[in-house]
A and B are shown apart, each in its own frame.
Chain A
Amino acid sequence: MTGSRRVLLAIWDFVVGDDWRVALGVAVAIAVTAVVADSSVAAWWVLPVAVVALLTDSLRRAARR
C-alpha cells in the first residue's frame, strides 16, 4: 500500500469511522435541509429527525451483528 493511500485510509477511518452510512446520511440530511430552507417551509426540524433516525438505524445494525 502506498503512503498516500495509507494516509487517505487513515483520514477516512478517523472522520467516517465504523459506519459510512451515517456520514452519507448526514451529508444527505444537510442537503435536504438546504433545499427545504430555500422553500417557504421551516427547515430546522430536518436535521434533528435525520440524526435520530441515523443513530437508531446504525445502532440497530450494530446490535444485530
Chain B
Amino acid sequence: MSGQDLGLAVAVFLACTVEAVEALTIVLAVGATRSWSSALSGVGAATVVLAAIVAALGPALTSLPIDVLRVAVGGLLLVFGLQWLRKAILRAAGLKALHDEAATFAEETEAARAAAREQGAFDGYSFAIAFKGVLLEGLEVAFIVLTFGANQHRVALAAVAAGAAVALVALVGMAARAPLARVPENTLKFAVGIMLTSFGTFWGAEGAGASWPGGDAALLAIIPVMAAVALATVALLRRAVSDGAGGGARLPA
C-alpha cells in the first residue's frame, strides 16, 4: 500500500466514522422509541442507494483523462475540505456550537414519541427518518469515497475503509445502545478537513500542470503545513474571542 493509498484509507475511515456516529444517533432514537425493524429497513434501503451511487459514478469518473480528473477532483476536494476545516476551526475556537449527540438523541426521541403511529407492523415514520438520516450523512462519505477513490483508481479500497468505519460504529453503538457522545467528533472533522484540503491542493495543482518538488513526497510536507496553519488559526481565533474581538453570538452547530 502506497503513502497515497494509506492517506486515502485514513481520510475515508475518519470521515465515515464521523458521519456514521451522527447517523447512528438518529437510527437509535427512532429504533428504540418506535420500531427497530422499520428503522433498520430504512438503514438498509439508504445503504443500497448509496452503494448504487458509488457503483454508478465510480467507473464514470475513473474513465476521465487523468489531468481532467485531478483538476476536477482536486477542486471539489478543496472546496469540500475547506468547508469541513472551516467549521472544525470555528468549533475549536468556540465560535460555533459543538455537535452534541446526546442533545440530538433527546430531540429525535422526543419527535419520534410525538409523531402519530399507524396501525400495523411497519412503521413508516421510523423507516423514513432512518432512511433520510443515513442517506444524508452517507452522501458526504459517498462523495469522499468517489473523489479519493476515482483519482487513485482505488474506489474499492475507499469503499472498504468506509465499510470498516460503519461496521465499527454500528457494533459499538449497538453494544452501547446509546449515542456515541464521547467520540471526539470535532477532532475527527478537523483531521478529515486537513486531509481533504491537503490532497485537494496536491491533486488540484498537479492537474493544472504544476510539478511538486519531490513528487508524491510533497504530501508529507503539505499535510503538516496545513495542520500547523489550522492550529495556529484556532489559537488566534481563541485569543480574539477571549479579548472580546470575535464578534457576538456563537454560530449554530
Task: List 8 other contacts, CB 8 Å, given A30-B204, A43-B210, A47-B210.
Answer: A30-B75, A37-B211, A42-B211, A43-B209, A44-B210, A44-B213, A48-B222, A64-B247
- Are A65 and B247 in touch, CB under 8 angstroms? yes
Question: Which residues in chain A, 3-60, are within 8 Å of chain B measured between CB atoms?
Answer: 14-19, 22-23, 26-27, 29-31, 33-34, 36-38, 42-44, 46-48, 51-52, 54-56, 58-59
B95 at the interface (CB under 8 A from A): yes
B194 to chain A, nearest CB (A): 11
- Are B76 and A51 in touch, CB under 8 angstroms? no
Q: Which of A14, A16, A31 has the most CB of B within 10 A?
A: A14
- Are A22 and B86 in touch, CB under 8 angstroms? yes
Could you say which residues of chain B place their CB within 8 Å of the CB of A1?
none
CA distance A34 to B233 in the complex (A): 29
What does DSSP make chain B's interface, helix, strand, loop or mixed?
Answer: helix
State which of B71, B83, B237, B248 has its C-beta within 8 Å of the C-beta of A30: B71
B156 at the interface (CB under 8 A from A): no
State which of A46, A62, A64, A65 has its C-beta within 8 Å of the C-beta of B205: A46
CA distance A15 to B87 in the complex (A): 14
Could you say which residues of chain A place their CB within 8 Å of the CB of B93?
63
State which of A14, A33, A55 has its C-beta within 8 Å of the C-beta of B209: A33
CA distance A24 to B37 in the complex (A): 45
B208 at the interface (CB under 8 A from A): yes
B229 at the interface (CB under 8 A from A): yes
- Are A65 and B251 in touch, CB under 8 angstroms? yes
CA distance A36 to B74 in the complex (A): 17
What is the number of residues of chain B that contact chain A, defined by CB distance less than 8 Å?
44
B206 to chain A, nearest CB (A): 9
A30 to chain B, nearest CB (A): 5
B179 to chain A, nearest CB (A): 24
Of all chain A residues, which has the CB nearest B193?
A55
Of all chain A residues, which has the CB nearest B197?
A51
State which of B78, B140, B211, B246 has its C-beta within 8 Å of the C-beta of A51: B78
Could you say which residues of chain B place their CB within 8 Å of the CB of A33?
204-205, 208-210
Known: A38-B209, A59-B233, A59-B237. A44 touches B218 (CB 8 A): yes
CA distance A34 to B205 in the complex (A): 8
CA distance A54 to B81 in the complex (A): 12
Could you say which residues of chain A place their CB within 8 Å of the CB of B83?
17-19, 22
Known: A47-B205, A62-B86, A65-B247. A55 touches B218 (CB 8 A): no
